[in-house]
Amino acid sequence: MASGFFALLDDIATLMDDVAVMSKVAGKKTAGILGDDLAVNAEKASGFVSSRELPVLWKITKGSLLNKVIILPLAFLLSAFVPTAIHIILLFGGLYLAYEGAEKVYEFFFPHKEHKKVSTTEKLSKEEILEREKGKVKSAILTDFILSVEIVIIALGTVEEAELPTQIVVVSLIAIIATIGVYGIVALIVRMDDFGTKLINLNEEDDSFSDKIGKFLVNALPKVIKGLSVIGTIALMLVSGGIFVHNLDFLHDIFPKIPSIITEFCIGLVVGIIVLIVVKLISKIIKSFKK
């Protein structure tokens, strides 16, 4: 009995060691997508009156957790019964991420004509504010679903040789950490300007230390969100390029003398441009038929 108990403890310890090692590897592989996830959700949760920012973010967070509940069992079933499907989904996901990154680059050089936006929610009725909020939440949850699929599949791809219990623990851990980490940081970001305003109003002195810090935080918020958007775009290229390099044999060591990070970025960019051109051509053809 005692020997069986200690054997069980030994198995658990071995499992935890495997989980720790594989979680680090999976964490590195999925870290690139989190930059884009962070940028997107910071933008989605901003632009409201301060009293609504955290409730909106909480709705998105609950939607993200529900996404994980849906995605994780399906991913484990595919891994157990149709493992080749993981690679196929990865490649399709890589195409999507490359396209999204290329589209952001395209929009930077050729921005779309934006519709006039209402500058403050005070000009909107309560019903309109709630409808606008509902639309942003839906959009954020949909984007989170797509990125969550990639995070789960990439994490699963790093532990596909492991036993199923290890896969479940590692991938679930990565998914939970991703959700808590991303939305925790987003909460800090969207409240940065509100905290800065409180520092400015902390005392009646002009140009005090608290005023300087407060103004810095208020002015930094839009720059932080823009910076995250740039980082997220680069991350999309790197992640998508890495997916193609590691899952398509003919791309292995295609440029052995060039650092892998540059190779992966370039492949992601080239694939993204090709997909972007194809999507735009299809879109034009569909519009011409509708006319």
Q: Give the DSSP letter string of the chain.
A: -HHHHHHHHHHHHHHHHHHHHHHHHHHHHHHHHHHHHHHHHHHHT-SS-HHHHHHHHHHHHHHHHHHHHHHHHHHHHHHHH-THHHHHHHHHHHHHHHHHHHHHHHHHHSPPPPPP--S-GGGS-HHHHHHHHHHHHHHHHHHHHHHHHHHHHHHHHHTTTS-HHHHHHHHHHHHHHHHHHHHHHHHHHHTHHHHHHHHHTT-S-TT-HHHHHHHHHHHHHHHHHHHHHHHHHHHHHHHHHHHHHHH-GGGTTSSTTS-HHHHHHHHHHHHHHHHHHHHHHHHHHHHHHH-
Report the distance separating Cα 226 and Cα 114, nearest Å.
17
Position 277 scores a pLDDT of 95
Residue 270 burial (10 A CB sphere; 0-12, 13-18, 19+): middle
Per-residue model confidence (pLDDT) at position 211? 83
Asked if 251 contacts 94 with a C-beta cutoff of 8 angstroms, the reply is: no
What integer pLDDT is reported at residue 7 of this predicted model?
44
In the chain, the amino acid numbered 63 is G
Q: Is the pTM of this model over 0.75?
A: no
- Return per-residue pLDDT of the chain as tens, 291 residues: 444 433 433 444 444 444 454 555 545 555 556 666 666 666 666 666 666 777 888 888 899 899 999 999 988 888 888 878 877 887 888 888 889 889 988 988 887 654 444 444 456 666 777 777 788 788 778 778 877 887 888 777 777 777 777 778 888 888 888 788 888 888 888 778 778 888 888 777 777 878 888 888 888 878 887 787 787 788 778 878 888 888 888 887 778 788 888 998 999 999 999 999 999 999 999 888 876
* Number of Cβ within a 10 Å radius of residue 122: 8
> Which residues have a Cβ under 8 Å from the Cβ of 132 and sit 6 or more positions away?
121, 124
Please tell me the predicted confidence (pLDDT) of residue 61. Answer: 87
